[in-house]
Chain A
Amino acid sequence: DIHMTQSPSSLSASIGDRVTITCRASQSIATYLHWYQQHPGKAPKLLMSAASTLHTGVPSSFSGGGSGTDFTLTINNLRPEDFATYFCLQTFSTPWTFGQGTRVDI
C-alpha cells in the first residue's frame, strides 16, 4: 500500500494568512494526488484534482502543486470558511489511501 503522510497535522492561522499543507507519498504517484476539504459533520469536498487542477467552483485562493512523492496545497488570504480539515488522496494504485488530515484552526 502507498502510505500518505501529511504535515502538519494541525495549524493555527488568522484571517488573511497564507498557509501551506504538504503531502508526501511513500512512493512515486505521478500526479494522482487530490485534495479535499472537510468541515465538521459534513462530507469531504473535492478542492483539487491531479495535484494542481482546481475543481469547479473552488476559489482561486486555493492552489496545488507537486509530482512524484511531494505535493503541496496552498491557501492564500484565509477566509473564515477555510477553517476546516484537509485531506490528500492518492489514486495511483489500489488501495487508494488518504493522508491523516491537517486541521486548520483559527
Chain B
Amino acid sequence: QVQLQESGPGLVKPSETLSVTCGVSGYSITSGYFWGWVRQSPGKGLEWIANISHKGRTYYTPSLKSRLNLSFDTSKNAMSLRLSSVTAADTAIYYCARSGSSDWPDCFAMWGQGTMVTVSS
C-alpha cells in the first residue's frame, strides 16, 4: 500500500528557507507518476505549488517559482520542497500528493496528511 508522509520544521523565521520532505512508502518514487505539492493557508483554500515527474522534470507555479526548488532524495525515497525568503504569507499546511496516472499529470489521486508550517519570528 502506497503512503505519503510529510515532515517539516513546524516553525520557520521570516526570510529563512522552508524545507519540507515527503517520504513515500510502498512505491519507488522515481519509477513512475507525477508528484506534487499543494498548500492551504489557515482557513483558506487550496493552492497548487509544483509538480515533479518521476524523471525529475519540474513544473512550478509562477508566483513562487523564483523561490522554489523541488527535488528527489532517492536514498530516502522522498521528495523535498524548499521555499526561500519566506514571509508570513507562506504559513500553511503543506501537502504532498501523487498523480492518478503513472505517466501523465492528470490530477492528485493520493495525498499525504499534511504538515503545518508557521512563519514567525
Contacts and interface: CB of A to CB of B under 8 A. Distances in A.
Interface centre among B38, B46, B107, B114 (most CB of A within 10 A): B107
A40 to B, nearest CB: 11
Contact of A46 (B109, B113, B114): B109
Interface of B: 38, 45-48, 51, 59, 61-63, 95, 100, 105-114
Nearest to B95: A43
Interface of A: 1, 34, 36, 42-46, 49-50, 55, 87, 89, 91, 94-101
B45 A46 contact: no
Nearest to A48: B107
Contacts of A43: 95, 111-114
A101 B43 CA distance: 11
A4 B52 CA distance: 23
A50 B111 contact: no
A94 B48 CA distance: 9
Contacts of A89: 46, 48, 107-108
B105 to A, nearest CB: 7
B46 A98 contact: yes
A20 B51 CA distance: 30
Given A94-B59, A95-B61, A46 B47 contact: no
